[in-house]
Amino acid sequence: MLVVAVVGAAAAAVGIDVRASYGAHVTGDEPQYLLTAISIGEDLSLDVSDEIRARRYLPFHEITIDPQSRPLDARGTLISPHDPLLPALLALPMRAGGWIGAKWALAVTAGVLAAALLWVAVRRFGVGLATASITTAVFAASSPFAVYGNQVYPEIPAALCTTIGIGALTGRLRRAGMVALWASIVALPNLSIKYVPVAAALAAVGLVRLWRADRSRHALMLGAAFATAAAAFVAAHLAWYGGLTPYAVGDHFTAGEFTVVGTAPNLAGRSARLIGLLVDREFGLAAWQPAWLLVIPAVAALARARPPGWGTVIVPLAMGWLNAAFVALTMHGWWWPGRQTVVVLPAATLAIAWWADRSAARRVVVASSGMVGVVTLGWFVADGLARRVTSVVDFFETTAPTYQIWSAALPEYRAGGGVTWILHAFWLAAAAALAWWGWRGSLPARAPRPVAESNV
């Protein structure tokens, strides 16, 4: 656990000085989170109007900032249209070490995430230590975990919450386990409202498990605790933002806070994201880490073998993927690839680790394809530190040959055209073949290791 934690933290920390854009160290929503962290750390307030007037953003955002919100009263109160938990978590690191301190805190969180994934894989799913270590290390040291481990977004803390939730659900669910499950689920929407579907999926799995185990009293207690937290969430958001979501104060959503998903979403068109989230040439997960493709046979094998705890992996993963495909405004944005899926990639990592542990050949596939992604990220970071590319504006222009050669076989959905849709059809067929491979090749589930040592 210590080794993979160091790998995950180091892989994230080495990219801290890669600029997000040519005009700023951080961009997009990142400066908003940092400004709110300053305000919480100094004033215990979400109002960033005084920080913006004092131009407190200049150390990390050298150009004039977009407030992203409209004044809420005659005094000009400004609250960033983002949920408050991430800035609250970064308030002390920001006060102690500035924006660099905040990024280091996230890098350490990425290391904790890697260690937690290893623990859950071994202790909850019976994955061999060597397999779990290799799988966790290659994903921790590559995209998107290592990148979001130094970008100021709630993705890595949310991924850690998902991991804790899965670990709790696959344990005994005694008092400590139920508290861990409740805390991880409640934290998710407070990190970002977009995580509500994943939080709901984890909560549903927990309540169903308790009910089926004839622990109806515990299920009712946990349900009541969730309802209380939901009521507090609504009350707080109405008081702070004047709406159910932080988008209510956003100057981009004057037509209503729920226009964040689009004013006329084309669900049929968005269905292309079901495979595009994996294989898009620029924003697909597999473009930067080919080993993510292995989630397809891994999930198919899980669905057939149904080892203990399989639902705790598949249900939140499916919910998060559907949310990224059909609810998110776009999969192409002013951010590093994979942002909408990071919250459920711990589930994908656990599925791949379980699948790879069934044969030596699979472990070789995970290690070899995973190292391609590690090399790609390392090359990109070198380009970024040399100021040849940035992590948001032109990351796809990296000189990494592993990316440039491999990505040529992937569809470029932003460009469209005949070649894109031919490649789209090819990868749909490839995904079906990978799923069939996983389904046909699934083996009887290995009995999970006993968890008697832990009450969590």
Q: What's the pLDDT tens digit per position in 397-450?
A: 999 999 999 999 999 999 989 999 999 999 999 999 999 999 997 655 444 444
Q: Which two tokens stand for residue 407?
A: 């990505």
**Mean pLDDT, residues 299-318 taken together:** 96
48 — pLDDT class (breaks 50, 70, 90): very high
DSSP codes joined into one string, 150-190: TSSSSHHHHHHHHHHHHHHHTS---HHHHHHHHHHHHHHHH
pLDDT of residue 187: 98
pLDDT digits 0-9 by tens, 227-240: 999 999 999 999 99
pLDDT of residue 448: 46
Q: Would you put residue 266 in left (φ > 0), alpha (ψ -120 to 50) or beta?
A: beta
Report how far residue 31's alpha carbon sits from residue 27's, in angstroms, rounded to the nearest whole number.
6
Q: Which residues on adjacent β-strands are paired with residue 250? A: 69
pLDDT of residue 73: 85
**Mean pLDDT, residues 318-337 taken together:** 95
Helical H runs in 55-154? 85-125, 129-140, 145-148
- Which 8-state DSSP code applies to residue 382? H
pLDDT digits 0-9 by tens, 211-269: 999 999 999 999 999 999 999 999 999 999 999 999 999 887 767 788 888 888 899 99
Report how far residue 378's alpha carbon sits from residue 148's, in angstroms, rounded to the nearest whole number.
14
Report how far residue 226's alpha carbon sits from residue 32's, in angstroms, rounded to the nearest whole number.
29
| Helices 345-356 & 155-169 angle (0-180, nearest 10) | 50
Report how far residue 140's alpha carbon sits from residue 149's, in angstroms, rounded to the nearest whole number.
9
Query: Where exactly are the structural domains of the chain?
Result: 2-441
pLDDT at 107 exceeding the cut of 90: yes
For the whole model, what pTM was predicted?
A: 0.95
pLDDT digits 0-9 by tens, 148-207: 999 999 999 999 999 999 999 999 999 999 999 999 999 999 999 999 999 999 999 999
pLDDT at 455 exceeding the cut of 60: no
pLDDT at 381 exceeding the cut of 60: yes
pLDDT of residue 453: 39
